[in-house]
Amino acid sequence: MAKIETPRPIRGTQDIIGPDAEAFAHVVETFERVRKLYRFRRIEMPVFERTEVFARSIGETTDIVSKEMYSFEDRGGESLTLRPEFTAGIARAYLTDGWQQYAPLKVATHGPLFRYERPQKGRYRQFHQIDAEIIGAAEPQADVELLALGDQVLKELGIADVTIHLNTLGDAASRDAWRAALLDHFRAVKGDLSEESQERLEKNPLRILDSKDARDKVYVADAPKIDDFLSDEAGRFFADVTSGLDAAGVKWVRAPGLVRGLDYYRHTAFEFIPDEGSASANALGSQSTVLGGGRYDGLMDSLGGAPTPAVGWAAGIERLAMLVGEGHADLQPHVAVIPVGEDALTVAQSVLAEIRSYGIEAETSFRGNLKKRMQRANASGAAFAVILGSDELASGLATVRNLSNGEEYKTPIRTLDVDLHTLVAVHKFNRGSQPDPLADALEGTQVKMTKDGLVISLLGNAPLHSDDQ
């Protein structure tokens, strides 16, 4: 008998459930809320493009294109690539879909990206990012707005021990002059550099500034600084960005060694990096950047479009989720509906529908006797159980059990939705969860339960909703 072997998941992909999945969703929901606050328009993008979209914009010769893209041929022989980033695809859409008409255009999106890399902590072959771009704006105010968005997203996620590391690469002329000076500087001491940096010297000299090797750091310290090569215009641009950030209350530090590898980057470059020794730094291991981006005024040209200024950033959802921690599941108390016996099943369904339509989270288990279902209700973390058995059907009074303290009482099945709404609000309030208008109204009062029914004595003299805040 041949045993069927279960197919394994693809290397570097992940199946997420539980607290990690809740944290993931929390990151996306927070991003969605904040980007609306900043009036960034939501866009949806394909996950694959013609290979040339990425090859042209990123550069044919880089490791990225030659080794790290998921490329394949479709049935027509066309080379396609799973997107390794958002920016190139968005730039393509800007050119092919006539989005110039919206310029300056603020857009945001999120979703899966793919890179053929060796997986390690916080790095996967399929990973997910949130992304924001401003296209068609050459003004430093766009950089400020974009950075402020990123800063607020992190703050609202409760990630406080992260700082913006900010640098400028200048305009094209500044950047080229600086690069030439760096080459001279490092070539003079080539033999003393680490093996990796000797390689970088030919391929990507700016990257030497990032080196962690002690042998390189000696020479990095007195390497030429971009500031000495900035044109007046580029210097003014950077000054406008930093003063704008200060005015917006966004904290940043200057990071003269921070560079972006690709040629199309100009002016502003930044990474949000956990502070040394912080909880976030420890949580991320060697993968330290949580959000990164910059100005890419040179990108549209490489795709055959008119020169178009643009600035953007992206942040890994998995990495952010690692930093927000647990505790994002089950913030809302929920109710378990427990039918006992065949007759109660349909009543349970209509009760579920009613209390859900009232905005209360509710579920029922599909099988088991009362004991079994009570166990499941407890395991699911339900705040209340509603028991519907023959007694309850006969009397029209449901049994409501508070699962945190075991108190039990009867209440008319007809008005379960209203009664539960009150109970849930009180429960939330007692637990110190987010304030609810009803819970506010109930502050300092008590809800009385009697054998005959749920009596909310204060409902007669307190408003259900408070509009004065």
Partner RNA sequence: GCGAAUGUAGCUCAGUUGGUUAGAGCGCCGGUUUGUGGUACCGGAGGUCGCGGGUUCGGAUCCCGUCAUUCGCCCCA
Could you list the residues known to form a binding site for L-histidine, using ranges.
85-87, 115, 129, 133, 260, 264-265
Between 362 and 438, whose beta carbon lies closer to RNA? 362
234: Cβ–Cβ under 8 A, 6 or more apart, which residues?
168, 170, 171, 174, 267
Helical H segments across 308-369, by residue range: 317-324, 344-357
The interface with RNA within residues 213-232 (CB under 7 A) comprises 213
What DSSP state is assigned to residue 7?
P
Residue of 204, 231, 278, 365 interacting with RNA (CB under 7 A):
204
Distances (CA, A) of 99 to 19, 43, 134, 362, 410: 39, 11, 12, 44, 61
x/- contact string, 51-80, with RNA (CB under 7 A)? Answer: ---x---x---xxx---xx-----------
Q: Distance between alpha carbon 353 and the CA centroid of its chain, in Å? A: 32
Q: Does 8 bind RNA (CB under 7 A)?
A: yes
Residue 208: count of CB within 10 angstroms of its CB: 26
Q: Does 87 bind RNA (CB under 7 A)?
A: yes
Between 293 and 298, whose beta carbon lies closer to RNA? 293
The interface with RNA within residues 130-189 (CB under 7 A) comprises none
x/- contact string, 252-291, with RNA (CB under 7 A)? Answer: --------xxx----------------------xxx----
Residue of 174, 268, 302, 399 interacting with RNA (CB under 7 A):
399
Peptide bond preceding 46 in cis form (omega within 30 of 0)? no
Helical H segments across 134-284, by residue range: 140-156, 172-187, 195-203, 214-221, 232-248, 279-284
Reduced to 3 states (helix: H, G, I; strand: E, B; else coil), residue 361 is: strand
Polymer length in residues for the chain:
469
Between 120 and 466, whose beta carbon lies closer to RNA? 120
Give the C-alpha separation, 402 to 430, whole Å: 13
Q: Does 115 bind RNA (CB under 7 A)?
A: yes
With tokens 């996620």, the residue in question is 157
Q: Distance between alpha carbon 249 and the CA centroid of its chain, in Å? A: 22
Q: E strands of 285-428, at which residues?
A: 291-295, 310-316, 334-339, 361-363, 384-388, 397-402, 408-412
| Closest separation in Å from C-beta 403 to RNA | 3
Residue of 33, 36, 121, 448 interacting with RNA (CB under 7 A):
121
Report the C-alpha dihedral over residues 181, 301, 36, 151, rounded to 10 degrees: -10
Interacting span for RNA (CB under 7 A) from 143-151, 182-190, 198-206, 249-257: 198-206
Q: Does 403 bind RNA (CB under 7 A)?
A: yes
The interface with RNA within residues 16-45 (CB under 7 A) comprises none
| Closest separation in Å from C-beta 232 to RNA | 28
Q: Does 405 bind RNA (CB under 7 A)?
A: yes
The HSE-up count of residue 400 (CA atoms within 13 Å, CB side) is 29
Q: Does 117 bind RNA (CB under 7 A)?
A: yes
Q: Does 315 bind RNA (CB under 7 A)?
A: no
x/- contact string, 320-359, with RNA (CB under 7 A)? Answer: --------------------x-------------------
| Closest separation in Å from C-beta 274 to RNA | 13
Q: Distance between alpha carbon 60 and the CA centroid of its chain, in Å? A: 30
Reduced to 3 states (helix: H, G, I; strand: E, B; else coil), residue 55 is: helix
Interacting span for RNA (CB under 7 A) from 26-34, 155-163, 197-205, 354-362: 197-205
Q: Does 314 bind RNA (CB under 7 A)?
A: yes
Burial (CB count <10 Å: 0-12, 13-18, 19+), residue 229: buried
Between 294 and 438, whose beta carbon lies closer to RNA? 294
Interface residues toward RNA, by CB under 7 A: 8-9, 11-12, 54, 58, 62-64, 68-69, 84-85, 87, 115, 117-123, 196, 199-200, 204, 207, 210-213, 260-262, 285-287, 292-293, 314, 340, 369-372, 374-375, 377-379, 385, 387, 389-392, 399, 401, 403-406, 408
